[in-house]
Amino acid sequence: MANALSTTARPAISVAATLYRSAPYLREFHARTVETLTRLGFDDYEIVFVNDGSPDNSREVVLELSVQDPRIVLLDLSRNFGHHKAIMTGLAHARGKLVFLLDCDLEEDPELLEPLQAKMRETGSDVVYGAQVVRRGSWVNRVTGSIYFSLINAVSGMKFPRNVLTLRLMTRRYVQSLLLHRERELLISGIWHLTGYDQVALPVTKHNRSPTTYSTLRRFSLVLTGIISFSDRPLRWIFYTGFVVLFFAFLYILFVLGNYLLNGAGVSGFASLILSIWLIGGLNILFLGTIGIYIATIFSETKQRPYTIVRAIYRGGREGEPQ
């Protein structure tokens, strides 16, 4: 991940947002964000957009806006690295004393900066984050979302907040601490919580203005990433399960041997034998797959490939070399 840009003076606030199929929303997002910042007295600000390999013309729209507003910074990534890594790259380049993070699809209102700031002043916290009052989507999404958080909390042994949004206002010291996390297999909601500091939730309503880019397979992958990244419990459970299976297998061997010695006959049951083989075989495949995921994660982390690659940085519509 590229290092943060050096500067002689920090702006009062940085607004950070990622771009992926965001072109229809950008002009309204920029206008509403600037209006909110001005109304709250943030005359010294910057807006950091991260182009995460967006296939539409989001990059061109931001470049047009940056000619009008020189406080816009565009980080143009060399390809699509994923939402979470793009967010971390944007935070690494955000220079403000406060950092306001949100998605630019207007499902989270830029005007929410005002209650976030008020909550931060009231509580003295380092982070105020948005949490959905009612989870967006169908009942299937709500049920699976509840299962996801319950599973993550049970397996990791931590208590991650539920229904968190990208929307959040953060202090400089929290962002600097957040950027100390360097793992490549990243679940950003877990990293937010794991960093610590005083964090306060603000109940908000998320709009439904754009289709989600998170497919069912992608969400399942996030569950696996969360479990593997924050807990070694599955490996311990494999050991305990193997021990229990071995114990009962030993008891069954004693039963078969005793029956043969006392009655002179073996134990019949072809169906039970096949079912046992299927059970043990399935457990073996499951356990090997779990171990394989941990090994794959180790493989990914030890290669130390670039977190993201910033192809160019634009300020005021002019291209500069990434630092």
| Beta strand ranges found along the chain (DSSP E) | 13-19, 45-51, 72-77, 98-101, 127-132, 164-171, 199-204, 310-315, 318-320
pLDDT of residue 3: 44
Do residues 124 and 63 both lie within one domain?
yes
Do residues 297 and 312 both lie within one domain?
no
Residue 165 domain flag: yes
CATH of the domain at 19: 3.90.550.10
Do residues 254 and 177 both lie within one domain?
no
Residue 222 domain flag: no
Residue 316 domain flag: yes
Do residues 314 and 252 both lie within one domain?
no
| Enclosing domain of residue 168 | 13-214+308-320
Each residue's pLDDT tens digit in the chain (323 positions)? 444 444 457 889 999 999 998 999 999 999 999 999 999 999 899 999 999 989 999 999 999 999 889 999 999 999 988 888 899 999 999 999 999 999 998 888 999 999 999 999 999 999 999 988 766 555 556 666 666 666 666 666 667 677 788 899 999 999 999 998 887 777 777 788 888 899 999 998 887 765 555 555 666 666 666 666 666 777 777 777 777 777 777 777 677 777 767 776 655 665 567 667 767 777 777 777 777 777 777 766 677 778 788 888 988 767 765 65
Do residues 177 and 252 both lie within one domain?
no
Q: What is the 3-state secondary structure (H, E, C) of 48-82?
A: EEEECCCCCCHHHHHHHHHHHCCCEEEEEECCCCC
Residue 221 domain flag: no
pLDDT of residue 318: 72
Do residues 262 and 205 both lie within one domain?
no
Residue 227 domain flag: no
pLDDT of residue 157: 62
Do residues 171 and 314 both lie within one domain?
yes
Please tell me the number of Cα atoms within 13 Å of 255 on its side-chain side: 8
| DSSP tally for the chain: helices H, then strands E | 10, 9
Do residues 125 and 178 both lie within one domain?
yes
> How many structural domains is the chain composed of?
2
Residue 3 domain flag: no
pLDDT of residue 163: 77
